[in-house]
Amino acid sequence: MFALIDCNNFFVSCERVFRPDLEHKPVVVLSSNDGCVIARSNEAKLLGIPMSAPLFEIRHLVKAYGVETLSCNFELYGDMSHRVMNVLQQQYKNVEVYSIDEAFLMFDANLDWAQEGEKLHRHILQCTGIPTSIGFGPTKTLAKLASIQAKALGVPYYIDGTSSYHHTLKTTSVSKIWGIGAKLTKSLKQHGIYSAYDLMTIEPSWARRNYNIIVERIVQELNGFSCMPLTLIQEPKKSIQITRSFFKPIRDEEILKQAIARYGFRLSAKLREVSQKTTTLFVYAQNSPFRNETSVFHQRTIVLTEPTNSTSTIIGHAQEAIKYFFDPKVAYHKIGIMAVDLRDATQPSTRVLFDKPKALARPDIDKVMDTLNKRFGLGTVRPLSCGESIEWMNKRDNKTPAYTTNWKNLVQVKAK
């Protein structure tokens, strides 16, 4: 039996742990540049604020109901996520960390799921302050569906493919199923498949023929045949990217180069953090998709002769790419850098026969920067090419402190 632990309104719940005054109030967390809603408290959901809504479209609701709008604080959410996962891993052997706010567990089939779920919910809440919804089922897909019910009911829930759960499946839209997105929902409805029950009762071979192996697996999983095992070992990442939108459009090449240097710096530090190197960099820049301009997407792929995670090497290539495609007529809205084709940095790499490696890399300097930034906070030291102050490029008007990861931001409590 699988269980899915899902943290309720996770980003909002993280904020509330350190801001108890936000309990029972409508709260939303915004994406970078305070652009879109990426998390909502139950009170905010009840006001009809949709997920992903741009802030400017819900201003009237924010004003009328005093909705608290917080800038995102991923440093905090990442750390709170670790705490929740640590609690699980201390108690159970079979834990798959699925996302920042979800984990799968596996239990013996005859577990008293209601009791175990209650206990687990209380324990996580006590240790971390984060409320969870817990769903159980014989497959991951059913456990996921059960967690949606659990969230609605406020108690753990269980679903299997037996007839006693047909009612639940009949009242669950096909769009709620894990792996069925907008496109598939539309297409399935054209075939008369509206509910989870409808999808459960079609022929798996039909699903395979008309769609693909993913949909076939979903059908099998809805019927209680597990096709998706628990993955306990975290495979190394296959790509890492750093991308950001600007608060206002940029037309200055130097500023773009400073921005891409920042992202290249972050990228190289991330690579070193997970002991990986890259052989292929992908740099891109685009204008805003929301303005009435013809869409522009500049890109450049750089294939390196040797794998690297050196800051100076990566920044060098990234800035070259900007120089290569920069067009002064374009109002740039978003740029990014991605590393693909990653290699294990602890393994020796194949040397190049004819090409002399450029003497750009300075692993000693990289190491010092990593150490300082880890100890004193991100951005304490950075290469000069990142520019001195371009903070205005990203807006975060209402960001809460990094309560759990920065000594300077510790919460102060006054006792009377």
Partner DNA sequence: TCTGGGGTCCTAGGACCC
Site stretch for DNA (CB under 7 A), options 40-48, 51-59, 61-69, 150-158: 51-59
Least Å from the CB of residue 345 to DNA: 16
* Alpha helices (H) in 98-192, listed in sequence order: 113-128, 140-153, 166-170, 182-190
Instruction: Kindly tell me which of 140 and 317 has the beta carbon lying closer to DNA.
Output: 140
Q: Does 392 bind DNA (CB under 7 A)?
A: no
Q: Does 410 bind DNA (CB under 7 A)?
A: no
Looking at the chain, the number of H-run helices and the number of E-run strands are 14, 12
Instruction: Kindly tell me which of 6 and 366 has the beta carbon lying closer to DNA.
Output: 6
Least Å from the CB of residue 32 to DNA: 4
Q: Does 297 bind DNA (CB under 7 A)?
A: no
CA dihedral 416, 130, 149, 109 (to 10 degrees): -120
Q: Does 35 bind DNA (CB under 7 A)?
A: yes
When binding is defined by CB under 7 A, the residue of 46, 50, 56, 391 that contacts DNA is: 56
Residue 246: strand, helix, or coil: strand
Give the Cα separation of 50 and 58 in Å (integer): 9
When binding is defined by CB under 7 A, the residue of 46, 153, 214, 378 that contacts DNA is: 214
When binding is defined by CB under 7 A, the residue of 12, 146, 174, 184 that contacts DNA is: 184
Residues of span 69-98 touching DNA by CB under 7 A: 98
Of the candidates 214, 237, 211, 247, the residue with the CA atom closest to the CA atom of residue 341: 237
What is the per-residue binding string for DNA in 323-352, x denoting contact by CB under 7 A? ----------xx-x-x--------------
Total residues contacting DNA by CB under 7 A comes to: 49
Q: Does 378 bind DNA (CB under 7 A)?
A: no
* 103, two tokens: 């984990």
Does residue 309 contact residue 251 with C-beta atoms inside 8 Å? no
- How crowded is residue 241: how many other Cβ atoms within 10 Å of its Cβ? 15
* 48, two tokens: 């009809």
Least Å from the CB of residue 214 to DNA: 5
Residues of span 224-283 touching DNA by CB under 7 A: 235, 237-245, 247-249, 270
Of the candidates 360, 383, 396, the residue with the CA atom closest to the CA atom of residue 258: 383
Q: Does 300 bind DNA (CB under 7 A)?
A: no
Instruction: Kindly tell me which of 25 and 334 has the beta carbon lying closer to DNA.
Output: 334
Burial of residue 186 (number of CB atoms within 10 Å: 0-12, 13-18, 19+):
exposed
Does residue 286 contact residue 295 with C-beta atoms inside 8 Å? yes
* 29, two tokens: 């967390």
Residues of span 117-176 touching DNA by CB under 7 A: 144
Q: Does 305 bind DNA (CB under 7 A)?
A: no
Does residue 334 contact residue 31 with C-beta atoms inside 8 Å? no
Least Å from the CB of residue 182 to DNA: 5
Q: Does 213 bind DNA (CB under 7 A)?
A: yes
Of the candidates 235, 221, 220, 225, the residue with the CA atom closest to the CA atom of residue 96: 235
Does residue 226 contact residue 140 with C-beta atoms inside 8 Å? yes
When binding is defined by CB under 7 A, the residue of 20, 21, 48, 52 that contacts DNA is: 52
Phi, psi of 234 (to 5 degrees): -75, 110
Instruction: Kindly tell me which of 26 and 336 has the beta carbon lying closer to DNA.
Output: 336
Instruction: Kindly tell me which of 80 and 177 has the beta carbon lying closer to DNA.
Output: 177
3-state SS of 216-231 is HHHHHHHCCCCCCCCC
- Chain contacts with DNA (rule: CB under 7 A): 31-33, 35-36, 38, 52, 54-56, 98-102, 144, 177-185, 212-214, 235, 237-245, 247-249, 270, 288, 290-291, 333-334, 336, 338
